[in-house]
């Protein structure tokens, strides 16, 4: 049986400024699931950024999408396979200028 963890949150009309972690043991990000209540019309990137335990010089952008470019309401990405080492964290951000309700699920192994 697969052992997994989830980090789930939602916002109703506000900006996303969410941090997962820092993790206490090796953790692999497997999936990102994102749902917006309606497609946004204002440009703006939803981002997932690694906040590395080794410092800012090692922080990387893991994923980015502008949901307004393709009238996106649903994102599913299972190509991530990002290893988080103890002390690493993930920072998620989105301005949500159109005030959509957003649900986010991060799935980890």
Q: State the pLDDT at residue 1.
A: 53
Q: State the pLDDT at residue 3.
A: 84
Q: State the pLDDT at residue 2.
A: 73
pLDDT by residue for the chain (109 residues), tens only, comes to: 578 999 999 999 999 999 999 999 999 999 999 999 999 999 999 999 999 999 999 999 999 999 999 999 999 999 999 999 999 999 999 999 999 999 999 999 9
In terms of pTM, does the model score above 0.75?
yes
Domains of the chain: 5-108 (2.60.120.340)
Of 21, 52, 66, 16, nearest in space to 7 by CA: 21
Q: Give, rounded to a whole angstrom, the gap between the first and last alpha carbons of the chain.
A: 11
């Amino acid at each position: 049986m697969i052992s997994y963890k989830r980090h789930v949150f939602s916002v109703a009309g506000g900006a996303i400024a969410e941090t997962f972690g820092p993790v206490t043991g090796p953790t692999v990000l497997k999936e990102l699931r994102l749902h917006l209540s309606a497609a946004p019309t204002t440009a703006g990137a939803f981002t997932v950024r690694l906040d590395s335990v080794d410092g800012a010089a090692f922080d990387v952008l893991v994923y980015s999408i502008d949901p307004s470019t393709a009238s996106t309401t649903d994102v599913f990405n299972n190509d991530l396979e990002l290893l988080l080492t103890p002390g690493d964290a993930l920072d998620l951000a989105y301005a949500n200028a159109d005030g959509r309700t957003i649900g986010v699920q991060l799935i980890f192994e």
